[in-house]
Structure 1
Amino acid sequence: MVQPDEFEVWYTAEDFPDTFHKTGRMVFTVDALAHALFTTGRAPHDQASYGWTSVYEWLHRVALIPAYIRRAPTGRLTRSDLARDLDRSEKVALSYALGQAMTGVFSQQVVSVRFLMHVDRYAARYGIRFAANTRRRADLFGERQSGGWVVAEAKGRSGNIDDELKETMRAQKRTIRSVGGRPPALAYACAAHFPQYKGVPDHLKLHAVDPEEAELEAFDLPAGRDRFILAYYEPFLAALEAGQEESTLDGYELASFGPFQVSVGVLTAVVQRVRRAQQGRTDHLYEDVAELLDTHLTTARSANRFMDGTIIMSKWQQALNQEDWSTETDGSYPEWW
């Protein structure tokens, strides 16, 4: 049963290893969607050069949720009529953000990825330059909770996906040959889209592919686990500094962004360790953070507390439950839909 604050999105997984289900159902909260929008953002962390860019970018992206996303009575994620009436460029921006966020949700729930980051944000953080022939590259990379790097390409569409898009996804997901000198354990692509079923715009669906072939122009991404973790948490720490400080909650430092009706938090122990890393103590950062997470997190954590030791709390229920969206189909779509 989907709870009142949860979304239900179905996915299909094509060419994944046999350990993955070919079709499945993801259930997640609106706060999980906001968390995924945070972690997949591409804005640089550098406050000296860009101010609070990563925070502003996230607030812009996360505001798309109460503005355009709605929860149908079934729990399925749909769009407001306003979203469907946006001009083409605005629809592209919404689809792009949703595609990245849903890739983040899929990565966490289905692939068990604890940390996921935009390739461009990591590259900007450490001054990595890509060759001229690598303009086509995967969006995201991260590490599974069980170990091993993953690479993910994210797409978003406001309608159906076609064979041409699927072929593009197959190519881009294999554009990173190695991460930190090791081939990725998994490289996949996800397309979040609102299919037309019997001519009626329907709820969100995810299509994922994971073929084996690599691109001829694939490149190597230099990445160390300590540097990766530092870059991963820096936008969260920037958010804590940019927002209005709140009282600590169960070992989390919190900051709120009043007009946006959202708060961000990070385990205090993780904040303290990452701040020491910002001052130069980066050795063993990954192992230290992993140990802190294993110590402080429990499997019974609430839905707005995530396995990376962060917390997102929003107050968008009224907006999400507005009935300013067209009726769904009559429910006669296939069971896996």
Structure 2
Amino acid sequence: MARRHDFSVWYRAKHFPSGVVPHETDRMTFPIDDLAHALFVTGRAPADRAAHGATSLYEWLHRVALVPAYLRMAPGGRLMRSDLARELDRSEKVALSYTLGQAMTGIFSERILSVRFLMHVDRYAGRHGLAFDPSSKKRADLFGQKRDGGWVVAEAKGRSGTADWKLEQAMISQKGTIKSIDGVAPDFTFGCAAHFPKLNDGSEPLAILAIDPPDFEPDAIDLGISLDKFTQAYYEPFLVALEEGGRRAVSGDFVVAHYDAFNMRIGMLRSVIERVERANSGFVSGIHHDVTTLLDELVPEERPAGQFLDGTMVKTDWAATMNQDDWSEFYFVEKF
């Protein structure tokens, strides 16, 4: 049963292998904290502090601030845009929709496909000098690893209206641009779009369209990565957030930084912090094995809201803002 402050977002999943997604049309329920976490892990800002300082942190804070500014929880848990979001100019709406597309791809990946680590392709490439063929501009946005070790590739899209046939074709084209990761074919190469279809009563709640067609592009690439470097790069922005935050405290197994101005806390398992810090000191070899072993031991299947498969914590206090009635003249109540 959905908690009082859970979003309820309908999704449509097309062409996934049998048994992966139980129902082609269904809904996900998730707390507000999931949005903040997904915005962090899908960001593309590099985490190389020597070259960029705390860039990844500032980018994330900017992205996270979009949630209380522009999103609202309507009756029934529907995720709506605020009136302020509707007044944005076209370029600002495009940016908001794209960012939401990335976040919802992250939530769909974790909750439906059991993805534990998800990262923007450009962030890994920028961190570890991975070069791409300059003749091809088509490249999927995100890639990540499931709990069972399998890989996924995802193309994230966002639209301020309804997803149409043209958008579906774009996702089909770009999601198939990576044919292997670390020499292994991904389990899923899917496109995921966050969009706002208009319902019969005039309301426009967020919905998700996910597509996993089987074919790759003719010029699809092999993404050569190191599992250890992948794990190191994944956690570095979290370390930055912990170091740059205000008050820092220990809460159970977590080290937590308080971002009081944003009504938000971010944390990470102490044992994982220690292993990533060792990697940053030069002991990179074996970090993937060590971290996944820790997560298998310390992260329960059923986790409190705000705790995630990757051993991190993001907790927000945005309920009052998210439940404001400044999202539309229509008050849509879902009927079941």
Q: TM-score, normalised by structure 1?
A: 0.96
**Aligned-partner Cα distance in 2 for 1:161–1:220:** 29
Q: Does 1:12 align with 2:12?
A: yes
Matches within 5 A, 1:50-89: 50-89=52-91
**Aligned-partner Cα distance in 2 for 1:162–1:331:** 25
| 3-state DSSP of counterpart to 1:183 | coil
**Aligned-partner Cα distance in 2 for 1:55–1:100:** 17
Match of 1:42 in 2: 44
What does the per-residue CA deviation read over 1:173-199, in whole Å, with 9 as the maximum and x for residues that have no partner? 000111111111110010000112238
What does the per-residue CA deviation read over 1:134-171, in whole Å, with 9 as the maximum and x for residues that have no partner? 31110000011112111000000110111111000000
- Structure 1 unmatched ranges of 5 or more: none
Count the aligned residue pairs: 334
Matches within 5 A, 1:300-319: 300-319=302-321
Q: Which amino acid in 2 is paired with 1:300?
A: E
**Aligned-partner Cα distance in 2 for 1:115–1:281:** 21
Over the residues paired in the alignment, what is the CA RMSD in angstroms?
1.5
1:255–1:174 CA distance, 2 compared to 1 (3 A) = same
Q: Is contact 1:266–1:309 with CA below 8 Å preserved after alignment?
A: yes
Q: Does 1:196 align with 2:195?
A: no
Q: Which amino acid in 1 is paired with 2:166?
A: E
Q: Is contact 1:5–1:30 with CA below 8 Å preserved after alignment?
A: yes
**Aligned-partner Cα distance in 1 for 2:317–2:293:** 32
Matches within 5 A, 1:1-337: 1-19=1-19, 20=21, 21-198=23-200, 200-328=202-330
What does the per-residue CA deviation read over 1:252-306, in whole Å, with 9 as the maximum and x for residues that have no partner? 0111222111111000000000000111111111110011112222223211111
Report the identity percentage.
51
**Aligned-partner Cα distance in 2 for 1:29–1:66:** 13
Q: Is contact 2:76–2:333 with CA below 8 Å preserved after alignment?
A: no
**Aligned-partner Cα distance in 2 for 1:93–1:75:** 24
How many angstroms does 1:328 deviate by?
4.1
What does the per-residue CA deviation read over 1:226-267, in whole Å, with 9 as the maximum and x for residues that have no partner? 111000000000111110132200110111222111111000
| 3-state DSSP of counterpart to 2:247 | strand
**Aligned-partner Cα distance in 1 for 2:298–2:231:** 17
Q: Is contact 2:267–2:312 with CA below 8 Å preserved after alignment?
A: yes
Q: Is contact 2:194–2:206 with CA below 8 Å preserved after alignment?
A: yes
Q: TM-score, normalised by structure 2?
A: 0.96
How many angstroms does 1:331 deviate by?
5.8
| 3-state DSSP of counterpart to 2:314 | strand
**Aligned-partner Cα distance in 2 for 1:59–1:230:** 21
Q: Is contact 1:200–1:329 with CA below 8 Å preserved after alignment?
A: no
**Aligned-partner Cα distance in 1 for 2:254–2:320:** 26
**Aligned-partner Cα distance in 2 for 1:100–1:249:** 30
How many angstroms does 1:57 deviate by?
0.3
- Structure 2 unmatched ranges of 5 or more: none
Q: Which amino acid in 2 is paired with 1:18?
A: S
Q: Which amino acid in 2 is paired with 1:100?
A: Q
**Aligned-partner Cα distance in 2 for 1:323–1:146:** 42
| 3-state DSSP of counterpart to 2:239 | helix
Q: Is contact 1:157–1:192 with CA below 8 Å preserved after alignment?
A: yes
**Aligned-partner Cα distance in 1 for 2:158–2:293:** 35
| 3-state DSSP of counterpart to 2:117 | strand
How many angstroms does 1:206 deviate by?
0.1
| 3-state DSSP of counterpart to 2:132 | coil
1:289–1:332 CA distance, 2 compared to 1 (3 A) = closer
Q: Which amino acid in 1 is paired with 2:13?
A: A
